[in-house]
Amino acid sequence: MDEARKYRIMVVDDEEDLLDFVKLVLEGAGYSVFSALTGHEALQQMYREKPDLILLDIMMPDLDGMELLKILKVEESTASIPVAMLTAKVEPKDKMAALQEEAVDYICKPFSPQELVERVATILARN
In this predicted structure, what is the pLDDT of residue 5? 59
Domain assignment of residue 59, yes or no: yes
Domain assignment of residue 55, yes or no: yes
Sign (positive or negative) of CA dihedral 4, 10, 15, 16: positive
- The 3-state secondary structure of 9-64 reads EEEECCCHHHHHHHHHHHHHCCCEEEEECCHHHHHHHHHHHCCCEEEECCCCCCCC
Domain count, the chain: 1
Condensed to tens digits (0 to 9), the pLDDT of residues 26-61 reads: 999 999 999 999 999 999 999 888 999 999 999 998
Condensed to tens digits (0 to 9), the pLDDT of residues 86-95 reads: 999 999 999 9
Domain assignment of residue 3, yes or no: no
In this predicted structure, what is the pLDDT of residue 4? 32
pLDDT of residue 117 exceeding 50: yes
Domain assignment of residue 125, yes or no: no
Structural domain including 106 reads 8-120
Domain of 57, CATH number, reads: 3.40.50.2300
Domain assignment of residue 1, yes or no: no
pLDDT band at 125 (very low <50, low <70, confident <90, very high): very high
